[in-house]
Amino acid sequence: MEKILMVCLGNICRSPMAEGIMQSKIDKYKIDAFVDSCGTAAYHVGEMPDRRAVSTLKAYDIDISHLRGRQFVVDDFDNFDHIYVMDEQNYSNVMRKSRHQKDRDKVSMIMNELYKNGNIDVSDPYYGGINGFESTYEMLDQATEIIAQKLSKE
Ligand code: 4NP
């Protein structure tokens, strides 16, 4: 079983959305995979996702209201096969905690699934309006679709 970790800064907007969308594709395509999410920062540990993230996904029949924030830990390198980060800041924060090349090989920016080596950020929607969450959804839906297709072939 492939284990996938979605990582952002606070674990209340982008990465729980990525987890929920990925889980819906795992269910839809009956993929043998596990998905979780976390944040590099501790600000929102134990909190549920931002209400704008919850309501944006509810419109697509995806429920993420049961998720709770947790912080990235070094053990995540051992417990997951793929670590997808949302932006370059998350990338450097995770890479800084890596112990060896095997850890680093697991880490990539999620939008590189669509635009190889593009290093495009899923920008932080936290300080913007609801439209930002809609574009977060669109980006993550496309990226997780590619991940799902790859996992289906494995
Ligand atoms: P996320 O968004 O990283 O997509 O969960 C953020 C949520 C909260 C904060 C920053 C980013 N914050 O600074 O509290």
For every one of its 154 residues, what pLDDT tens digit does the chain have, with 9 covering 90 and above?
A: 999 999 999 999 999 999 999 999 999 999 999 999 999 999 999 999 999 999 999 999 999 999 999 999 999 999 999 999 999 999 999 999 999 999 999 999 999 999 999 999 999 999 988 889 999 999 999 999 999 999 998 7
pTM: 0.97
Rounded to an integer, what distance in angstroms lies between the CA atom of residue 75 and that of residue 78?
Answer: 5
Nearest to 8 by CA among 51, 31, 47, 39: 39
Q: Which two tokens stand for residue 62?
A: 């995806």
Ligand 1 geometric centre to CA of 152 (Å): 31
- For tokens 């993230």, what's the residue? 53
What is the CA(104)–ligand 1 centre distance, in A? 24
CA-closest residue to ligand 1 atom 10: 10
Beta bridge partners of 8: 39
Atom nearest to 90 CA in ligand 1: 3
